[in-house]
């Protein structure tokens, strides 16, 4: 298959579409149902997140009743792990320090004793949440500028530079759509929420992914004058084969570590690593199966709306 | 321990001298430097490291005095983190210096909580971040911090039972006519008899401002009391008043509740006195603290709290270490199986990379949180990227017919720009992430950005110089002819 892999580019586009389209549908659904394409955590909205270790059996209604007493009308209550673990996660509105103490006491009195040693309670005011949202917006903006600058710099002296740049950006957008889409689906079915670390995962992945695309493109640039007689897609094919060992070996090692953390690491970091892993897989895929085939499609005029430009 | 440092220092000097005397790219000098650096890193990273305490001239004062321990973030150590903000309208900034003053007061107040190493930091112009490792009760901390502790000396017509809430002229004026406190809020005298509140407003004679200091004392019977000393102005005022009112009653009122209402026996002119009131030692300490540090110059509101149980953090640490060891083990195995002889040097370089990182974490020190550990582990996972770039180049050069020893040189030279670019691009992303992490609510991101960035920088050294040095010595006994016949040793 790899002997002439760019020929099958339509298949690669289909595979990408098969992941991205359900993701986009999920994001639309999520926007209608929850007001945002992915579910936002208290980091962005403000509110309280209580991961509580009860020492005895607790019931959802019991917990809900206590929260209702404190004016929290619609807490999101989930059981973590096995039922006999007695570990629960409760998301609700912000609580003052006094309310926190009273709420804990009420839970102890009316639901079950709590093991404070193994519980965490985070409360974020909406002000702080708004600030994080703003900071996130600036971080995305800064990352976009930096990455575009990087792409521009890497291809500044290449013929058809905008074409390479556009394909690298397309691969980056691909990765962002995949991670956002998967997160949106996980949000709908498992209540996964996007926190500050999610954005970290996405930006890290985007950095690696763009770098990966650039390595392949670099090789194409190097090989084009060297194999003047060959068809464009053959040169591209050759370049991918020359760099694929490096790409796969590097990604594989990163994946080893992430799978190790996913399987053996702590529960609080699991969601972050899962997103990082999905993003990394998407990044590896996109630099080989999105960025490069797009480049060939562009050259060959597959993309109908580009045909005029390619001819000119 | 000092002997170790001397030997280590000597070895490093020898390495550096060799580096200067011989050619700068001479492998032996690099090997000495790498070995001594690694030995030092291992020594620093050991959990049992005693710290560096060097007393240069034996005068009992340490020239260098550092404990070397991993600094654990609250998510690992367990504890309470609170973000307080000046409770002022948005367009109003606190007067210059006032937040600093607030920080001092808050610092003194939380010292009495008994948290292990409390920290209070100013963030921006109107925020205060408080971290209390090993503490569990955000409510206790915030109430102590926010408490305004209005202390008044009030003129009353006769004896009043302690614990009685009363209205005072100063408090009425301050709150605009609303009675300030209820019994419960004041937290003292809860078991005092019910007091049918009448509307009498008693005259405030003096407020807590006249106090200079307050300490806890106990007498022979074991009764705990709070002793106070007055400021010079307070002394004059207090002496004047008590001289004129011998035989009258003077109530000591805290936040609208009578603590005690003693009769003035004689004029108090010594500039000091005591407050008694059947306190427990804890209550007395609290009262003394409140009296000493008085009201905050700026009201504070709690914007965010985070409480982590200590056991949970410990479990996270253990799980992360286990995951890290397994992850690194698999990478070492992969590099050995896939790249064979060069893989040995990469594996060794990766171990050096890991210890150097741990050393830097301790020396800086970097606060280790769960995201920080993750950043480190991810940097381990991508650290071999440099080696992979080099080894793939090496294979290519061998395939294209170059002599093996020449291919090694070319591999390192050609791969350098790729390694530099690759680390640089991720480093730039780290800078962006660090900026994002300066927002309080995204503080977790900062640890990740720091450890990942440190890893990338250290990696430039280990992936190139360290790997090249190790590879040189591993390849020494292997001749080009022998490797030509056994290309599998290079993973070809």
Gap between the Cα atoms of A203 and A208, Å rounded: 9
Report chain B residues whose CB lies below 8 A from the CB of A249.
334, 338, 384, 388, 392
Using CA coordinates, name the residue in chain B closest to A251: B382
Residue ranges of chain B whose pLDDT lies below 50 = 177-196
* Residue B436 near residue A196, CB atoms below 8 Å: yes
What DSSP line would sit under chain A, residue for residue?
-GGGGGGGHHHHHHHHHHHHHHHHHHHHHHHHHHSSSS-B-HHHH-EEEEEEEBSS---HHHHHHHHHHTT--S-EEEEES-GGG-EEEEEES---HHHHHHHHHHHHHHT--B-GGG-EEEEE-HHHHHHHHHHHHHHHHHHHHHHHHHHHHHTTTSTTHHHHHHHHHHHHHHHHHHHHHHHHHHHHHH---B-HHHHHHHHHHHHHHHHHHHHHHHHHHHHHHHTTTS-HHHHHHHHHHHHHHHHHHHHHHHHHHHHHHHHHS-HHHHHHHHHHHHHHHHHHHHIIIIIHHHHHHHHHT-SGGGHHHHH-
Gap between the Cα atoms of A178 and A182, Å rounded: 6
Contact across the interface for B334 and A256, Cβ inside 8 Å? yes
CA distance A65 to chain B (A): 22
Identity of the residue in A120, A204, A215 whose CB atom sits nearest the CB atom of B307? A120
Contact across the interface for A249 and B85, Cβ inside 8 Å? no
* Residue A240 near residue A221, CB atoms below 8 Å: no
Contact across the interface for B374 and A253, Cβ inside 8 Å? no
Contact across the interface for A260 and B327, Cβ inside 8 Å? yes
Q: Where in chain A is the domain with CATH 3.30.70.3400?
A: 47-123
Q: Give the per-residue pLDDT at A184.
A: 95
CA contacts within 13 A on the Cβ side of B467: 33
Domains, chain B, in order of start with CATH, read 1-69 (no CATH), 79-145+302-307 (3.30.70.3400), 149-295 (3.30.1360.200), 309-490 (1.20.1640.10)
Gap between the Cα atoms of A230 and B278, Å rounded: 97
Cα distances (angstroms) measured from residue B396 to each of A245, A249, B253, B490: 11, 15, 86, 11
Report chain B residues whose CB lies below 8 A from the CB of A101.
137-140
Mean pLDDT value across residues A27-35: 91
Gap between the Cα atoms of B129 and B362, Å rounded: 23
Report chain A residues whose CB lies below 8 A from the CB of B312.
117-120
* Sequence-distant (≥ 6) Cβ neighbours of residue A200 within 8 angstroms: A272, B371, B433, B436, B445, B448, B449
Identity of the residue in B309, B384, B396 whose CB atom sits nearest the CB atom of A118? B309
* Residue B267 near residue B245, CB atoms below 8 Å: no
Gap between the Cα atoms of B189 and B271, Å rounded: 28
Contact across the interface for A101 and B371, Cβ inside 8 Å? no
Determine the Cα angle at B256 with ends B251 and B259, to 5°.
45
Q: Look up the ipTM and state it.
A: 0.89
Contact across the interface for A263 and B380, Cβ inside 8 Å? no
Length reported for chain A: 312
Mean pLDDT value across residues A4-10: 81
CATH class for the domain made up of A47-123: alpha beta
Using CA coordinates, name the residue in chain A closest to B386: A250
CA distance B330 to chain A (A): 7
* Sequence-distant (≥ 6) Cβ neighbours of residue B283 within 8 angstroms: B188
Q: Give the per-residue pLDDT at B198.
A: 60
Contact across the interface for A128 and B308, Cβ inside 8 Å? no
Q: Where in chain A is the domain with CATH 1.20.1640.10?
A: 2-39+127-311
A residues 178-217 closer than 8 Å to B (CB) = 196-197, 199-200, 203-204, 206-208, 210-211, 214-215
Residue entry with tokens 């890991």: B354
The two three-digit tokens of residue B362, written as one number: 């301790």
> How many other CB atoms sit within 10 Å of the CB of residue B358?
17
Report chain B residues whose CB lies below 8 A from the CB of A214.
421
Residue-averaged pLDDT of chain A:
87
State the pairing for strand pair A47-53/B224-230. Answer: unpaired
Strand partners, B165: B257
Mutation site for A-interface testing, chosen from B425, B443, B450 by largest number of A Cβ within 10 Å = B425
The two three-digit tokens of residue A15, written as one number: 């595979």
Q: Give the per-residue pLDDT at B327.
A: 92
Task: Report the Cα B46 to chain-centroid distance in Å.
Answer: 21
Contact across the interface for A266 and B370, Cβ inside 8 Å? yes
Using CA coordinates, name the residue in chain A closest to B421: A211
> How many other CB atoms sit within 10 Å of the CB of residue A107?
22
Task: Please check whether residue A126 touches B, CB under 8 A.
Answer: no
Gap between the Cα atoms of B249 and B252, Å rounded: 10
CA B180, B181, B182, B187: dihedral to nearest 10 degrees? 180
Give the 3-state DSSP-derived string for chain B, with helices as H, strands as E and coil as C. CHHHHHHHHHHHHHHHHHHHHCCCCCHHHHHHHHHHHHHHHHHHHCCCCCCEEECCCCCCCCCEEECCCCEECHHHHCEEEEEEEECCCCCCCCCCCHHHHHHHHHHHHHHCCCCCCCEEEEECCCEEEEEEECCCCHHHHHHHHHCCCCEEEEEECCCCCCCCECEEHHHHHHHCCCCCCCHHHHCCCCCCCCCCCCCCEEEEEEEHHHEEEEEEEECCCCCEEEEEEECHHHHHHHHHHHHHCCCCEEEEEECCEEEECCECCCCCCCCEEEECCCCCHHHHHHHHHHHHHCCCCCCEEEEEEEEECHHHHHHHHHHHHHHHHHHHHHHHHHHHHHHHHHHHHHHHHHHHHHHHHHHHHHHCCCEECHHHHHHHHHHHHHHHHHHHHHHHHHHHHHHCCCCHHHHHHHHHHHHHHHHHHHHHHHHHHHHHHHHHHCCHHHHHHHHHHHHHHHHHHHHHHHHHHHHHHHHHHHHCCCCHHHHHHCHHHHCC
* Residue B185 near residue B283, CB atoms below 8 Å: no
Contact across the interface for A150 and B428, Cβ inside 8 Å? yes
Gap between the Cα atoms of B25 and B384, Å rounded: 22
CA distance A208 to chain B (A): 7
* Residue B379 near residue B324, CB atoms below 8 Å: no
Task: Please check whether residue A37 touches B, CB under 8 A.
Answer: no
To the question of domain A2-39+127-311 being in CATH 2.30.40.10, the answer is no
Q: Give the per-residue pLDDT at B117.
A: 78
Contact across the interface for A120 and B312, Cβ inside 8 Å? yes
Report chain B residues whose CB lies below 8 A from the CB of A125.
302-304
A143 vs B152: which has the higher pLDDT: A143
What pTM was computed for the model?
Answer: 0.79
Contact across the interface for A123 and B305, Cβ inside 8 Å? yes
Mutation site for A-interface testing, chosen from B368, B390, B429 by largest number of A Cβ within 10 Å = B429
> How many other CB atoms sit within 10 Å of the CB of residue B323?
25
Report chain A residues whose CB lies below 8 A from the CB of B141.
97
CA distance B18 to chain A (A): 35
Using CA coordinates, name the residue in chain A closest to B388: A246
Report chain B residues whose CB lies below 8 A from the CB of A119.
307, 309, 312
Q: How many CB pairs under 8 A join A and B?
A: 229
B486 vs A178: which has the higher pLDDT: A178
A312 vs A109: which has the higher pLDDT: A109
Gap between the Cα atoms of B91 and A271, Å rounded: 39
């Amino acid at each position: 298959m790899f002997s002439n892999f760019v020929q099958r580019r339509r298949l690669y586009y289909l595979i990408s579409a098969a992941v991205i389209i359900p993701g986009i549908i999920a994001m639309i659904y999520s926007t209608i149902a929850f007001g945002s394409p992915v579910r936002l955590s208290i980091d962005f909205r403000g509110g309280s997140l209580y991961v509580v270790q009860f020492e005895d059996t607790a019931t959802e209604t019991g917990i809900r009743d206590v929260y209702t007493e404190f004016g929290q009308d619609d807490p999101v209550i989930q059981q973590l792990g096995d039922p006999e673990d007695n570990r629960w996660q409760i998301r609700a509105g912000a609580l003052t320090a006094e309310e926190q103490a009273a709420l804990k006491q009420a839970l102890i009195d009316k639901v079950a004793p709590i093991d404070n040693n193994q519980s965490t309670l985070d409360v974020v005011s909406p002000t702080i949440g708004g600030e994080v949202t703003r900071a996130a917006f600036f971080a995305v903006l800064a990352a976009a500028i930096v990455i575009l600058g990087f792409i521009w710099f890497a291809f500044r002296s290449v013929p058809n530079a905008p074409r390479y740049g556009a394909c690298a950006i397309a691969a980056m957008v691909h990765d962002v759509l995949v991670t956002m889409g998967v997160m949106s689906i996980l949000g709908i079915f498992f209540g996964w929420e996007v926190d500050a670390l999610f954005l970290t995962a996405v930006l890290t992945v985007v950095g690696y992914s763009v770098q990966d695309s650039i390595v392949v493109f670099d090789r194409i640039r190097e090989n084009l004058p060297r194999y003047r007689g060959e068809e464009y897609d053959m040169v591209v094919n050759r370049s991918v084969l020359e760099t694929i060992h490096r790409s796969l070996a590097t990604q594989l090692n990163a994946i080893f570590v992430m799978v190790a953390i996913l399987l053996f690491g702590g529960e609080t970091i699991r969601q972050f690593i899962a997103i990082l892993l999905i993003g990394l897989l998407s990044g590896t895929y996109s630099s080989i199966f999105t960025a490069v085939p797009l480049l060939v499609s562009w050259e060959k005029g597959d993309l109908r709306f580009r045909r005029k430009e390619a001819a000119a | 321990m000092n002997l170790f440092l001397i030997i280590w220092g000597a070895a490093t000097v020898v390495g550096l001298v060799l580096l200067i005397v011989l050619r700068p790219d001479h492998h032996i000098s690099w090997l000495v430097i790498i070995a001594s650096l690694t030995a030092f890193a291992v020594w620093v990273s050991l959990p049992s490291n005693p710290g560096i305490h060097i007393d240069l001239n034996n005068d009992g004062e340490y020239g260098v005095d550092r404990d070397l321990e991993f600094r654990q973030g609250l998510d690992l150590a367990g504890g309470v983190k609170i973000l307080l903000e000046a409770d002022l309208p948005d367009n109003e900034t606190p007067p210059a210096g006032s937040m600093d003053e607030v920080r001092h007061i808050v610092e003194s107040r939380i010292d009495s909580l008994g948290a292990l190493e409390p920290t209070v930091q100013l963030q921006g112009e109107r925020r205060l971040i408080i971290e209390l490792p090993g503490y569990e009760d955000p409510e206790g901390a915030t109430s102590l911090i926010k408490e305004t502790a209005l202390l008044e000396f009030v003129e009353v017509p006769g004896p009043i039972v302690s614990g009685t809430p009363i209205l005072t002229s100063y408090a009425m004026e301050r709150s605009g006519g609303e009675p300030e406190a209820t019994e419960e809020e004041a937290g003292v005298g809860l078991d005092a008899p019910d007091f049918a509140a009448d509307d009498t407003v008693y005259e405030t004679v003096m407020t807590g401002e006249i106090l200079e200091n307050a300490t806890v004392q106990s007498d022979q019977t074991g009764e705990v009391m709070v002793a106070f000393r007055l400021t010079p102005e307070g002394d004059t005022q207090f002496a004047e008043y008590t001289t004129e009112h011998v035989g009258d009653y003077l109530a000591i009122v805290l936040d609208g509740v009578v603590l005690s209402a003693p009769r003035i026996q004689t004029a108090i002119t010594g500039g000091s006195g005591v407050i008694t009131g059947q306190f427990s030692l804890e209550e007395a300490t609290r009262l003394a603290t409140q009296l000493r540090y008085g009201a905050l110059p700026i009201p504070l509101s709690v914007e965010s709290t985070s409480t982590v149980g200590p056991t949970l953090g410990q479990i996270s640490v253990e799980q992360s270490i286990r995951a890290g060891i397994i992850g690194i083990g698999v990478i070492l195995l992969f590099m050995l199986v896939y790249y064979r002889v060069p893989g040995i040097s990469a594996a060794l370089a990766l171990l050096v990379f890991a210890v150097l990182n741990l050393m830097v974490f301790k020396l800086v020190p970097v606060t280790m949180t769960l995201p920080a550990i993750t950043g480190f582990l991810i940097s381990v996972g991508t650290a071999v990227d440099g080696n992979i770039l080099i080894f793939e180049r090496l294979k290519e050069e061998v395939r294209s017919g170059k002599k093996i020893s020449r291919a090694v040189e070319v591999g390192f030279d050609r791969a350098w720009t790729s390694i530099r670019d690759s680390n640089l691009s991720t480093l730039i992303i780290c800078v962006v992430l660090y900026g994002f992490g300066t927002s309080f609510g995204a503080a977790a991101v900062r640890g990740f950005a720091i450890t990942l960035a440190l890893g990338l920088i250290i990696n430039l050294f280990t992936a190139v110089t360290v790997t090249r040095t190790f590879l040189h010595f591993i390849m020494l006994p292997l001749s080009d002819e022998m490797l030509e016949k056994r290309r599998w040793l290079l993973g070809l």
